[in-house]
Homo-oligomer: A and B are copies of this chain.
Amino acid sequence: MKKHNFSAGPCILPPEVLTGAAQAVHDFEGMGLSLIEISHRDKKFVAVMDEAMSLSLELMGLGEDYAALFLQGGASLQFAMIPYNLMSATNGHAAYLETGVWATNARKEAEAFGKVTVVASSKDSNFNHIPKDFTIPSGVDYFHCTSNNTIFGTQMHAFPKTDARMVCDMSSDIFSRSQDFASFDLIYAGAQKNMGPAGVTFVAVKKDILGKNGRKIPTMLDYTTHIKGESMFNTPPVFSVYTTLLNLRWLKNNGGISWVEARNEAKATLLYNEIDRNPLFRGSAMPEDRSRMNACFLLNDESAHQSVFDSLWKEAGVVGINGHRSVGGYRASMYNALPLESVQVLVDCMKELERRS
């Protein structure tokens, strides 16, 4: 039976990307060798890395003043690399917007490097909304925010205008919607949502902001190391980079970000309309801050309906919709590769539950 994969990440990838990745593990471009047993300095892999770097910038509409990097360590390592590279060694000061668990982890890591001002936090309401009424102190080294909060199902639909350098963790919504990417100085994302498999971390950084904070940075944590090395200072995560490239090509060939944005909006509208219409369910995030990537919702009467609903969606082939333990209920992640058909299957289960009760 076909699975409808709503996993929060690692998550669904397009079937043709999976087929292409498996094929390359068998034999890479007719070489008679697997992708994973050739040198990363082979011209065929250098071409993969070059295309991944240029295509990611092209899809975001970013020019040569940005560098695209495919690194390791996940967003969690970026939490340290950002202050290492951007917070001044003397009187360092950064501003963080606290909209979820990952935003909090990023903020905590920065505190080891200098002064951190939390401009606003929605922690007291279990991160069910995005704070909007805040001021970024003047003179900070940078402002950091998290564009989409996977666990809580919230998403920033607008970003503050500020003179400060803008740093954004887009791990769970990068390449999902049209944005003025050039308004950010540094964008980063663990790949395992809309980009590709786990094991690679994407960074797009405006080159002229680097090398100015007076800090001695360990070689591997210094963005300039990886820019000079063209993202191959040391052996890159070959399989994850190649599969990400297949996924970026899939996005481009289908029409790019504007195409996927319309598709994502249709999926989110379908599901949220049912959450709001169906008297058995309610959403957990404030409506104006709802994420188009992760819809978090609850049964109004769990004891009466949970076991029937769980049977319904399991029988329909739906997987990965259990909510995070800190919110409970359900979380339907609708990343780029999820087809509208899968959302319809889930909505049909919700309607069937209503019919039976």
Please, how many angstroms separate the alpha-carbon atoms of A220 and B192 in the complex?
18
**Across the two chains, which residue of chain B brings its CB closest to A112?**
B216
**Residues A197 and B13 in contact, CB atoms below 8 Å apart:** no
Task: Give the interface size bracket for A toward B.
Answer: 35 or more
**Across the two chains, which residue of chain B brings its CB closest to A78?**
B220
Q: This chain: how many copies in the complex?
A: 2
Q: What B residues does A240 contact at CB under 8 A? A: 199, 237, 239-240
Contact with B along A310-332 (1 / 0, CB 8 A): 00000001011000000000000
Which residues, 69 to 124 on A, are CB-close (under 8 Å) to B?
72-77, 79-80, 105, 108-109, 112
**Residues B236 and A198 in contact, CB atoms below 8 Å apart:** yes
Distance from A194 Cβ to chain B, minimum over Cβ atoms (Å): 12
Q: What B residues does A26 contact at CB under 8 A? A: 18-19, 22
Partner of A219, one of B76, B234, B238: B76
Distance from A292 Cβ to chain B, minimum over Cβ atoms (Å): 19
The yes or no answer to A355 lying at the interface (CB within 8 A) is no
**Across the two chains, which residue of chain B brings its CB closest to A14?**
B37
**Residues A237 and B72 in contact, CB atoms below 8 Å apart:** yes
**Residues B13 and A37 in contact, CB atoms below 8 Å apart:** yes
**Residues A218 and B109 in contact, CB atoms below 8 Å apart:** yes
Distance from A215 Cβ to chain B, minimum over Cβ atoms (Å): 11
Please, how many angstroms separate the alpha-carbon atoms of A25 and B34 in the complex?
14
Knowing A10-B39, A216-B112, the reply to whether A199 touches B238 (Cβ < 8 A) is yes
Please, how many angstroms separate the alpha-carbon atoms of A239 and B13 in the complex?
14
**Across the two chains, which residue of chain B brings its CB closest to A197?**
B36
Which residues, 1 to 57 on A, are CB-close (under 8 Å) to B?
1-3, 5, 7-13, 18-19, 21-23, 25-26, 31-34, 36-40
Q: What B residues does A38 contact at CB under 8 A? A: 7, 10, 320
Please, how many angstroms separate the alpha-carbon atoms of A11 and B37 in the complex?
4
Knowing A18-B25, A239-B198, the reply to whether A234 touches B76 (Cβ < 8 A) is yes
Contact with B along A206-237 (1 / 0, CB 8 A): 00000000001011110000000000011111
Knowing A198-B238, A237-B72, the reply to whether A220 touches B36 (Cβ < 8 A) is no
The yes or no answer to A146 lying at the interface (CB within 8 A) is no
**Residues A234 and B199 in contact, CB atoms below 8 Å apart:** no
**Across the two chains, which residue of chain B brings its CB closest to A45?**
B10
Please, how many angstroms separate the alpha-carbon atoms of A80 and B142 in the complex?
26
Knowing A25-B25, A109-B219, A219-B76, the reply to whether A243 touches B10 (Cβ < 8 A) is no
Knowing A18-B26, A197-B239, the reply to whether A73 touches B220 (Cβ < 8 A) is yes
**Residues B37 and A12 in contact, CB atoms below 8 Å apart:** yes
**Residues A36 and B21 in contact, CB atoms below 8 Å apart:** yes
**Residues A199 and B37 in contact, CB atoms below 8 Å apart:** no
The yes or no answer to A190 lying at the interface (CB within 8 A) is yes
| Inter-chain pairs besides A13-B36, A18-B25, 20 sampled, C-beta below 8 Å | A5-B37, A9-B235, A10-B37, A10-B38, A10-B40, A18-B26, A18-B37, A21-B25, A22-B22, A22-B26, A72-B237, A74-B220, A75-B234, A76-B233, A112-B216, A197-B238, A198-B237, A199-B200, A199-B240, A237-B237
Jot down 12 A-B pairs with beta carbons below 8 A, ordered by A: A7-B39, A9-B39, A18-B34, A21-B25, A36-B198, A72-B199, A74-B235, A76-B233, A108-B219, A112-B216, A112-B218, A237-B240
